[in-house]
Amino acid sequence: MIIPLEHKVFQLISEIVTVNDLQCYVIGGYVRDLLLKRPSKDIDIVVVGSGIDLAKTLARHIGKKGRISVYGNYGTAMLRYDDLEIEFVGARKESYRADSRNPSVENGTLADDQNRRDFTINALAISLNRETFGELLDPFNGLHDLEHKIIRTPLDPDVTYSDDPLRMMRAIRFSSQLGFAIEKKSFEAIKHNRQRINIISRERIIDELNKIVLSPKPSVGFDLLEKSGLLELIFPEFDRMKGVSVMENLRHKDNFRHTLQVLDKLAEKTDNLWLRWAAIMHDIAKPVTRKYVKGHGWTFYAHEFVGSKMVPEVFRRLQLPLGASMKYVQKLVLLHLRPIALVEEEVTDSAVRRLLFEAGDDIDDLMLLCEADITSKNDEKVKLYLNNFKLVRQKLREIEEKDAVRNFQPPVDGELIMKTFNIGPCREVGVIKNAIKEAILEGIIQNDYEQAYGLMLEKGRELGLKSD
C-alpha cells in the first residue's frame, strides 16, 4: 500500500538517503495521524544509522530556513522547518530493567525499532527509500487496528507495559482521545502492572492525564483509569468519590459518576483545560464532609469551601501549575453553589451584584460549570433549572450594565481616605473602604465617586475622624 506524502521535505530526505545509501522511514504518531486524517506537525524519522548525521545533512541542504538542535546524549536531533518539528533518530533495539524506564540501547534494524514501540497503530512506518517511496510497513496489522479502533501492543502486553509503564496511561489516553477500545488482554496487563506507574515521573503522568481531561468525552479515560486501578494510585482524592451510602433508606448520589457527567457535559461546551479541572474538583470535598443527619438525610456541609482549600494540595501532588490557573480553579470550586442558590432563593439585585463582584471576569465560566452541574434524571427539573439560569444570566447582564461591579475598583480608594482625614494607614481606612464596598453591593449607593465620597465623610464622622 502506497501512502502519499505531500510535504516536499520527504522528497528532500529521500534524495539525501539515496545518495548516502541509507534506509529511512517516517514512523509513529505522524503516520497514525496521517491515516486518521488528523493533521500533525510532529514528524518522527528513523534511519538505520545515525539520526544526528542525517539531520545535519538535511539542515545543510535547507540552509537558513531550518533550525537544528542536537541531543548528543540521546542520539537524536530535531529540525524545525516551516511549521514542522522533525525528529531524527537511529533505529534501535532496546532492553529494559525492572527498576527503571530508561532502557539500554543498541543500534538495530527497522523491525527492531518497530518491535520496541508501544502500540500497533504507533508502529506503522512509511518508506522514504527511492524504490519504495510511500510504501506502508505494517508488521503488526496496525492498519487493521486503526480501522477497527483497537489499542493493541506489538509484543506481549505484559512486556510492553512493564518495559515502559507510562504506556498504560498512553493506552487509556489514546482510547479517550480517539474513541478506541483497549484489547482485553492488554487491559488485563494494565491491571497487573498498575503498581509500576510508581516509577514514572509525575510530569509525564500529568501530561497524559491532561490529554485525557481534554479528550472529547473525558469520562471514557477516567472510567478506564478507575477500572484498571490506576486512578487510585495517581489521583486518590478522585477515586475516593466512588460509591453510594444508604441510611434509613436514603441514599446520596455517586459523586464519582456525577462528576464525570458534569465533566462530559462541560466538555461539549469548552476546551478550557482549567474549567474542565474545575468540574473535576467541584465536589472533591464531598467524601470528607459527608454526614448523615437523622430525619433530614445526607449533607455535605461547606464542601465548596473545604474543596477549594483542597485544590492546592491536589495540584501540588499532581504537579499542576500553582499560579493563576490554580487560583481560578479554587475560585470556581468555592463559588459553584452560588448561582443555584440565587435561583432557589430570590434573585435580588444585591445577591447578583455580590456574585458578579466575587466571580469577576470568570462569571461566564462559572455559569457554564453550574449549568453542567445539573445532572438530574428528571427532565422537568433540568428544564426548570436551566430556565432559571437563563433568568440569572439576564439579571447578571442588566446589573453589569447598570452597576459595573464585575471588575470592581472602589470609586474612593485608601489614598483619598487618608488624605481627607489626614491619617496614616490604620484600621479606620479599612473600615471605611469596606463600608463603601458593602453599600455599593447592597445597592444603598451607586457605584460612583460623588455618592462614595459622601458616604466616606459620613463614616469618617461616625468614627470620630476630622476632615479639613
**Using CB under 6 A as the criterion, which residues of the chain lie in contact with ligand CTP when the complex forms?**
28-29, 42, 44, 117-118, 122, 164, 166-167, 170
The nearest distance, CB 207 to ligand CTP, in angstroms, is 8
Pairing of strands 136-137, 104-107: unpaired
Contact 139, 114 (CB under 8 A): yes
C-beta of 164 vs 237, nearer to ligand CTP: 164
143/120 Cα distance (integer angstroms): 8
315/83 Cα distance (integer angstroms): 33
C-beta of 273 vs 367, nearer to ligand CTP: 273
Contact 370, 336 (CB under 8 A): yes
Q: Look up residue 227 and give its three cell numbers.
A: 477500572
Closest CA to 438 of 373, 322, 312, 354: 354
The nearest distance, CB 259 to ligand CTP, in angstroms, is 25
Q: Look up residue 30 and give its three cell numbers.
A: 505522524
Contact 230, 332 (CB under 8 A): no
C-beta of 214 vs 306, nearer to ligand CTP: 214
C-beta of 167 vs 395, nearer to ligand CTP: 167
443/456 Cα distance (integer angstroms): 16
Taking the CA of residue 443 as centre, how many other CA atoms within 13 Å lie in the half-sphere pointing to its CB? 10
For 73-86, give the DSSP string.
GGTEEEEEETTEEE
C-beta of 121 vs 417, nearer to ligand CTP: 121
Helices (H), 282-323: 286-289, 303-318
The nearest distance, CB 29 to ligand CTP, in angstroms, is 2
C-beta of 271 vs 345, nearer to ligand CTP: 271
C-beta of 118 vs 145, nearer to ligand CTP: 118
C-beta of 205 vs 314, nearer to ligand CTP: 205
The nearest distance, CB 86 to ligand CTP, in angstroms, is 12
The nearest distance, CB 117 to ligand CTP, in angstroms, is 4
The nearest distance, CB 450 to ligand CTP, in angstroms, is 59
297/35 Cα distance (integer angstroms): 54
The nearest distance, CB 92 to ligand CTP, in angstroms, is 11
The nearest distance, CB 425 to ligand CTP, in angstroms, is 53
Pairing of strands 150-151, 181-182: parallel
Residue with the closest Cβ to ligand CTP? 29
The nearest distance, CB 320 to ligand CTP, in angstroms, is 19
Backbone phi and psi for residue 165, each to the nearest 5 degrees, phi listed first: -65, -15
The nearest distance, CB 40 to ligand CTP, in angstroms, is 7
C-beta of 34 vs 374, nearer to ligand CTP: 34
For 165-188, give the DSSP string.
THHHHHHHHHHHHHTPEEPHHHHH
Closest CA to 298 of 310, 313, 283: 283
- Helix (H) / strand (E) containing 324: helix 324-335
C-beta of 164 vs 239, nearer to ligand CTP: 164
Closest CA to 76 of 93, 55, 96: 55
Contacts of residue 332, Cβ cutoff 8 Å, sequence gap at least 6? 275, 278, 282, 362, 365, 366, 369
The nearest distance, CB 27 to ligand CTP, in angstroms, is 7
Q: Look up residue 43 and give its three cell numbers.
A: 514528524
C-beta of 167 vs 459, nearer to ligand CTP: 167
